[in-house]
Amino acid sequence: MKTYDLIVVGAGIVGAACADYASAEGLRVAIVEPGPVGGGATAAAMGHLVAMDDDPAELALSRYSLELWESLSNLPQAEFSRCGTLWVASNERELASIPAKRARLAAAGVETEAIDSDTLYRLEPALAPGLAGGMRVPGEAVVYPPAVARHLVDRAVERGARMYSRRVAHIEYGGVRLDDDTRLQGPALIATGCALAQLLPTLPLRARKGHLVITDRHPGLVHHQLLELGYADSAHGDADSSVAFNVQPRPTGQILIGSSREFGSSTPEVSLPMVRRMLARSFRFLPALRQLDALRIWTGFRPVSPDGRPYLGRVPHEHQLWVAAGHEGLGITTSLGSARLVVDQLLGRATAIDASPYDPARVVA
Amino acid sequence: MNEYYDVLVVGAGPAGLAAAQAATSHGARVGLIDAQATAGGQVWRHDVRHAAPSLARRSIGGALTHSRVDWLARTQVVAVETGSLFVEDPRRGSRLDYGALVLATGARELLLPFPGWTLPGVTGAGGLQALAKQGWPLAGRRVLIAGSGPLLLAAAATAKRHGATVLGIYEQAGADAVRRFAGSLWRWPAKAIQAALLRGQLAGVPYRCGSVVRRALGDSTLRTVELEGPHGIEQVPCDQLAIGYGLLPNVELAQLLGCELRWEGAHPQVSTDIWQQTNIDTVYAAGEVCGIGGRDSARVEGAIAGHAAAGARSAAMALQPRRRHARAFAEALRTRFALDARVYALATPDTLICRCEDVALSDMDGYTDTRSAKLATRCGMGACQGRICGAALAELGRFSGGGQRPPLFPARLSTLGDTDFFPLATIEE
Ligand SMILES: Cc1cc2nc3c(=O)[nH]c(=O)nc-3n(C[C@H](O)[C@H](O)[C@H](O)COP(=O)(O)OP(=O)(O)OC[C@H]3O[C@@H](n4cnc5c(N)ncnc54)[C@H](O)[C@@H]3O)c2cc1C
Ligand SMILES: Cc1cc2nc3c(=O)[nH]c(=O)nc-3n(C[C@H](O)[C@H](O)[C@H](O)COP(=O)(O)OP(=O)(O)OC[C@H]3O[C@@H](n4cnc5c(N)ncnc54)[C@H](O)[C@@H]3O)c2cc1C
């Protein structure tokens, strides 16, 4: 029987970040992942590193994480591109919401610029006429998430972490049992994303499906990650399905188009009605997209807790069991901060930001 | 625009043309679509300078001018739903509903990577044929044809007819294998005639067996080809290298529909019964997509599929002996032109394997499944959607391709975003 200081279950971006940080802190780490590293939600993501300000806890975690991402900004395979985020206001009402948004972000230390409509079209000439203005967040970036997950796992393995290409079949007292019956001893950290319920059924989690479309290469059509200011309504509303304008220039010159959110579909098939709806929304902001070719369309599932915050910390009523899952549509961004928050708690250290909003105990009576 | 067809045929090569004609003979209303601007498929691809052979003219004319056939040129399948195809042409997207569907999507070339294969001046063997027929100037150019299979002869003949100086045809299969294949051709008189014709047209062109292209050399464009033959290594200066290692069925649409596939070596083909019916009741498949067999088996299978799809099994029954005979040819092809081990060892670690995304062979080391390799390297994520590198990697024994998702081919966003594929009520925001 093998004994470890930490058994990380799941090697999406969250598990990978946990394994990386724990091994850097000198822990003997096991990583258990049956599929390709970063092959779950992580492979489907847009890879936009973004501070979301609609929930103070989420803002604190994304802000903390964005700082940590700087250490990976020169990693070639991360394809880190600091394109900045441009939030687009369609009308005066949305424009009027910008000062408060800027103030919240400024309070968290995120630098922003108010953009009037002339500047908007200077920055992004392809935008549809008639938009009111926007807000730019110059420091934000995009990455290629599965390659980052892979890098973090490789780095952990170089420090001595052991990779098991298996599935965890059960959690057992003092450890876990793999599907080939191997038993690993030690504290386990469950980072299985949407599959959380299989191992930790007491923590409620739903899967929210998303579609993305990638085009052929059109360098220079857009320069920033573009989002509509109404995005947060779509992202955090509880509607069964919604779409929002969310478009990203990839370093290759390709354009990645999102985003859709949908509960109630659990199969990975591409839904043409949903794609149509999502594209129709994006044409409204960026009519030039109509002429481009779609090369591929894919779907992914976001792991969603009831309050939209991830579970980060000790599993209630358990001593040796930890969790880092439920990052919804922000898990690439917040993976690095999440890892520190959980592993620092496990090591009995003070956390850099308040960990209580993410305490899994909040959902367990 | 939504249309309903009793029989919808995808692909207007010999198989699809025969299917369309057979189906109309029973009164069916037929839609015939092809991504190309003109009908004829690979073998009867429209030639801007030379008239089509009479069989081609009859087959194309017979199908396209029939009053019950809608000929939809430059129409590409984007996605599928039960009983419908979503297609786009240069102007718009539309939905085509069908009672029965005939897949006659044909084949493409197997291209295998070797040092220099991405240099300008290097194309597939069939690829060069297509370029020539489109009017790409070959007059006076020195062309070397290499790879494997009878297609090399056809490519050489086309190049020669278009004024190229064909330096030679370099077949990787050994002389014995080629001789045995040629000796068995009498069983297929049409093939023997075709072969003899080609030989006539190719008088004076050297045909070398057991020869493999090791490298293509040149800085910005092809200058020299390095060959390894029975008598050692030689370098041949030339302007154009046309190289193909055989054909692969285009199964992507079948796969998207959920048709059962069979593996022939490393590559899938559609499995059908003697009526050319797939495991899906309304879907038939005919021609190269069911396994490489050439023009004659494509024609007879197309006719069987067309009859059966129109509900006329007795007419389809009468064609069974011809079908079996033509298919036996495919078997001879496969066993005679098996690829030599040398061909698999040509790519060096820095040879590009995915030319869309600039991925070298060594970038794939350490990955044991397609998805991991794809995620890490993006191999296969470019404009060809993995059709070239995916087949090459499967052939090289690295790993085989994954599933299919729409869009089947790169599709205009306006097709996906503006087309009323579904009643609007179900999708309004
Ligand atoms: C369409 C879409 C777009 C997105 N865009 C962004 C974005 O732009 N920016 C952003 O920050 N976030 C984005 N996200 C969110 C982000 O992708 C997720 O929050 C994040 O990837 C979650 O990571 P994870 O490691 O928790 O989950 P996953 O990546 O799903 O990893 C979980 C892993 O656990 C493994 N596993 C499951 N069960 C077991 C078991 N029993 N034993 C062992 N291993 C197991 C799985 O194989 C999997 O690899 C997006 C998500 C989607 C769907
Ligand atoms: C590059 C190449 C060159 C060849 N040259 C010769 C030759 O000179 N002589 C010879 O005897 N044989 C040649 N062949 C062999 C050829 O496969 C057969 O002779 C014969 O053409 C097969 O007939 P088919 O109807 O099965 O398919 P094909 O003739 O290949 O016809 C298939 C048709 O389907 C269309 N199609 C495929 N998928 C879709 C889609 N999703 N949407 C719309 N349209 C679609 C294609 O555009 C094509 O026109 C060649 C093959 C290839 C690949």
Give me ligand 1 centre to Cα A301, in Å.
7
C-beta A32 within 6 A of ligand 1: yes
3-state percent breakdown (helix, strand, coil) of chain A, nearest 5? 35, 30, 35
Q: B147 and B73: one domain? A: no
Q: Let me know if residue B128 belongs to a domain.
A: yes
Q: Which CATH superfamily is domain A85-138+206-304 in?
A: D-Amino Acid Oxidase, subunit A, domain 2 (3.30.9.10)
Both tokens of A80, joined, read: 């880190």
Minimum-distance CB partner of A146 among B376, B410, B417: B376
CA neighbor of A254 nearest in space, from A283, A298, A221: A221
B229, B294, B343, B396 from B172: Cα distances, Å: 9, 20, 8, 16
Instruction: Specify the higher pLDDT residue, A68 or B421.
Output: A68
Sequence ranges of the domains in chain A: 2-45+145-205+307-363, 85-138+206-304
Q: B241 and B125: one domain? A: yes
- The reported pLDDT for the residue numbered A236 is 58
The type of residue at A291 is Q
- The reported pLDDT for the residue numbered B188 is 81
- A240-254, B128-142, B324-338: which has the minimum mean pLDDT? B324-338
Q: B224 and B209: one domain? A: yes
With a cut of 90, say whether residue B179 has pLDDT above it.
Answer: no
Q: Which residues of B are less than 8 Å from A215 in CB distance?
A: 413
Model confidence band, residue B426 (pLDDT cutoffs 50, 70, 90): very low
Give the rounded percent of residues in chain A with a pLDDT score beyond 90.
Answer: 93
Model confidence band, residue A112 (pLDDT cutoffs 50, 70, 90): very high
A196, A222, A315 from A361: Cα distances, Å: 15, 43, 7
Q: B124 and B175: one domain? A: yes
Model confidence band, residue B422 (pLDDT cutoffs 50, 70, 90): low
With a cut of 50, say whether residue B424 has pLDDT above it.
Answer: no
- A1-5, B190-194, B210-214: which has the minimum mean pLDDT? B190-194
> Residue range B208-227: average pLDDT?
96
**Ligand closest to CA A270:** 1
Give dist(CA A118, CA A122) in Å, integer: 6
Give yes or no for a contact between B109 and B124, defined as CB atoms under 8 angstroms apart. Answer: yes
Q: Which of A77, A261, A293 to mutate to test the interface with B (most CBs of B within 10 A)?
A: A293
Which helix (H) or strand (E) element contains residue B4?
strand B2-10
Q: Inter-chain contact A292–B413, Cβ cutoff 8 Å?
A: yes
Give dist(CA A252, CA A271) in Å, integer: 26
What is the fold of A2-45+145-205+307-363?
FAD/NAD(P)-binding domain (3.50.50)
Dihedral sign from CA coordinates of A193, A198, A201, A206: positive
> Residue range B24-39: average pLDDT?
97
C-beta A329 within 6 A of ligand 1: yes
Q: Which of B413, B419, B421, B427 to mutate to test the interface with A (most CBs of A within 10 A)?
A: B413
> Residue range B385-411: average pLDDT?
85
Per residue in A170-204, pLDDT (tens digit) is 999 999 999 999 999 999 999 999 999 999 999 99
Q: For chain B, what is the domain count? A: 3
- The reported pLDDT for the residue numbered A322 is 98
Q: Which residues of B are less than 8 Å from A270 in CB distance?
A: 79, 405-406
- The reported pLDDT for the residue numbered B427 is 42
Per residue in A16-52, pLDDT (tens digit) is 999 999 999 999 999 999 999 999 999 999 999 999 9
Minimum-distance CB partner of A293 among B79, B410, B427: B410
With a cut of 60, say whether residue A142 has pLDDT above it.
Answer: yes
Rounded to 10 degrees, the C-alpha dihedral B152/B303/B36/B193 comes to: 30
Q: B164 and B313: one domain? A: no
Give me ligand 1 centre to Cα A183, in Å.
25
Q: Atom 52 in ligand 1: which residue has the minimum CA distance?
A: A45
The HSE-up count of residue B361 (CA atoms within 13 Å, CB side) is: 19
- The reported pLDDT for the residue numbered B1 is 62
With a cut of 70, say whether residue B244 has pLDDT above it.
Answer: yes
> Residue range B273-297: average pLDDT?
96
Both tokens of A123, joined, read: 């920055």
Minimum-distance CB partner of A272 among B382, B406, B418: B406
With a cut of 80, say whether residue A274 has pLDDT above it.
Answer: yes
CATH code of residue B66: 3.50.50.60
The type of residue at B14 is P
| Pocket residue to mutate for ligand 2, from B38, B43, B145, most atoms within 8 A of Cβ | B43
Q: Chain B closest CA to A319's CA: distance in Å?
A: 35
Instruction: Specify the higher pLDDT residue, A245 or B386.
Output: A245
- The reported pLDDT for the residue numbered B418 is 83
Give me ligand 1 centre to Cα A298, in Å.
14
Domain interval for residue B388: 348-395
| Averaged pLDDT score across all residues of chain B | 91
Both tokens of A75, joined, read: 């990693």
Q: Let me know if residue B423 belongs to a domain.
A: no
Q: B126 and B239: one domain? A: yes
Q: Which residues of A are less than 8 Å from B375 in CB distance?
A: 36, 38-39, 43, 146-147, 150
